[in-house]
Amino acid sequence: MKKDEFAYVWTDKKRTLFGLPISFTRYFLTETKFITRTGFLSVDEDEIDLYKITDKKVRFPFFQRMFKCGSIIIYSRDADTPSKEIHCIKNVRQVSELLDKYLNIMRDKYGIRGRDMINFHDHYDDVDTSNDFDII
Whether 60 is covered by a domain: the verdict is yes
pTM above 0.95, yes or no: no
- Residue 94 Cα distances to 2, 71, 76, 113, angstroms: 27, 12, 20, 22
Over residues 40-79, the pLDDT tens digits come to 999 999 999 999 999 999 999 999 999 999 999 999 998 8
Q: How far is CA 70 from the centre of its chain?
A: 14
Q: Is residue 64 part of a domain?
A: yes
Q: What is the CATH number of the domain that holds 89?
A: 2.30.29.30
Any domain includes 123: no
Residue 43 located in a structural domain: yes
- Cα–Cα distance for residue pair 63/70, rounded to 1 Å: 9
In this structure, are residues 84 and 74 in contact, taking their beta carbons and an 8 Å threshold? yes
pLDDT digits (tens, 9 = 90+) for 27-46: 999 999 999 999 999 999 99
Number of independent structural domains in the chain: 1
Residue 25 domain boundaries: 3-111
Q: Is residue 59 part of a domain?
A: yes
- The pLDDT assigned to 79 comes to 87
In a domain, 121, yes or no: no
Would the pLDDT of 133 be above 80? no
Question: How many C-beta atoms lie closer than 10 Å to residue 8's C-beta?
Answer: 14
Whether 26 is covered by a domain: the verdict is: yes
Res 45: pLDDT:
95
Residue 125 forms part of a structural domain:
no
**What mean pLDDT do residues 119-128 have?**
46
